[in-house]
Amino acid sequence: MNLDPYQIRKDFPILSRILPNGKPLVYLDNGASSQKPKSVIDATSNYYANDNANIHRGVYYLSQHATELFERTRIKTSHFFQAQCAKAIIFTRGTTDSINLVAQAWGRTHIGEGDEIVLSVQEHHSNLVPWQMLAQEKKAFLKFIPIKEDTTYDLSNLNEIITKRTKLVAISQMSNVTGTIHDLTKIIDRVRQVGAKILVDGAQAACHMPIHLVDMDVDFYAFSGHKMLGPTGVGVLFGKEEILEAMPPWLGGGDMIESVELESSTYAALPAKLEAGTPNIAGVIGFSHALDYLQKVGMKNIKEHERMLTEYALERLNRIGGLQIYGTEDLDKRGGVVSFTMDGIHPHDVGSILDEEGVAIRVGHHCCQPLMKQLAIPGTCRASFYLYNTKEDIDALVHSIDKVKSIFGRVARK
């Protein structure tokens, strides 16, 4: 493994920050958003300082240069994820925006009364609520793939769940709650058998492992740049070119038209047709540098590093009495996320005490309320890792949990 987190940390200014309480920052909330290297920060700032202009419209130098930087990112994204072509990469505001784009542009055209949309019981609200809204509008039905006790998908009744009435399966590749990585092969095979389409929520997976979109044979793949070292407000929707070509626009306005009359319009070719208005130009340019950084480090190296951290975290946390850890024990099926509860202590209390120690984790339902209901808990404490995290970060987490137990009158870990 060729990854030195201590060297990498030097590229991230925020990781050397001392918090107002005097504690050094221990950032373990990468499932929500990653930190940004200086190269990304500088690229975003440089656009506003030296290249600021709108794209696709101006004939002057700044506009042409900004357009070139923006479109170069599209090509780079296509290569990074081994997509069908650059035209199949649509820039959005994030995973949520990408999924809503499919629901509105593709779904409203192809989902009708009595049709079925298949999800899983552990989907993020971003991959649940849009389909609820569409199903209510179209009088369609939602069906759900259940999960096993170890939070992997239960595919024992897959043929009864995905049927000839299924028009779309929308499912996550990696759980944002437990870090469970799902093998989607059987689901994709079944989708092809019934002639349906599949959308994969890759918000968690895309930033932690190599993704080969053509090899996956998915119809749509959605992810966010801010979880993979890029700026906020940048997302990507990959779609098979022939599907995107046939999709009507969702948003109307500038840059997505070919010609406009008073009572009708014709639309631009891909990808412009699905990118109305002025985009987050600075963010997309910054995302280009995030991809450069990840490419240099290597996604396989990142995955291996997170596996090591996860194994170390599980070993240390399992020695603490009164902790319930969620997710599979199979490290081959688990990403860099550890979600746990502490007996008799609310996750919010845990998070507040850890914050006093400078340890930043996520607590709550993680936008997965149906999963929390199935697990019969109000929420969890989630520590999530990335390429710049170290064993010392996990040691700080464990030490802080000992403090939680001490405050609540329990015996600290020996």
* pLDDT one-digit tens code per residue, 95-126: 999 999 999 999 999 999 999 999 999 999 99
What is the distance in angstroms between the CA of the first residue and the CA of the last residue of the chain?
32
* pLDDT one-digit tens code per residue, 323-374: 999 999 999 999 999 999 999 999 999 999 999 999 999 999 999 999 999 9
pLDDT of 413 higher than 80: no
Average pLDDT, the chain: 96
Q: What is the pTM of this model?
A: 0.96
The pLDDT confidence band at residue 410, using thresholds 50, 70 and 90, is low
Long-range interactions of 125-131: CB distance < 8 A, separation 24+: 125/367, 125/368, 125/369, 126/95, 126/96, 126/99, 126/201, 126/203, 126/367, 127/99, 127/170, 127/171, 127/172, 127/199, 127/201, 128/370, 130/99, 130/100, 130/103, 130/104, 131/103, 131/107, 131/168, 131/170
pLDDT of 412 higher than 60: no
Go through the domains of the chain in sequence order and give each one's CATH number.
5-30+298-412 (3.90.1150.10), 41-295 (3.40.640.10)
Instruction: Calculate Rg over the CA atoms of the chain.
Output: 22
Which residue numbers are catalytic? 367
* pLDDT one-digit tens code per residue, 11-60: 999 999 999 999 999 999 999 999 999 999 999 999 999 999 999 989 99
Query: How far apart (Å, rounded) are the C-alpha atoms in residues 247 and 245?
Result: 6
Backbone angles phi and psi of 67, in degrees to 5: -60, -45
Q: How far, CA to CA in Å, does 21 sit from each of 8, 355, 357, 396?
A: 25, 10, 8, 16
Q: Write out the two tokens for 89.
A: 């990469």
* pLDDT one-digit tens code per residue, 68-79: 999 999 999 999
pLDDT of 230 higher than 90: yes
pLDDT of 243 higher than 90: yes
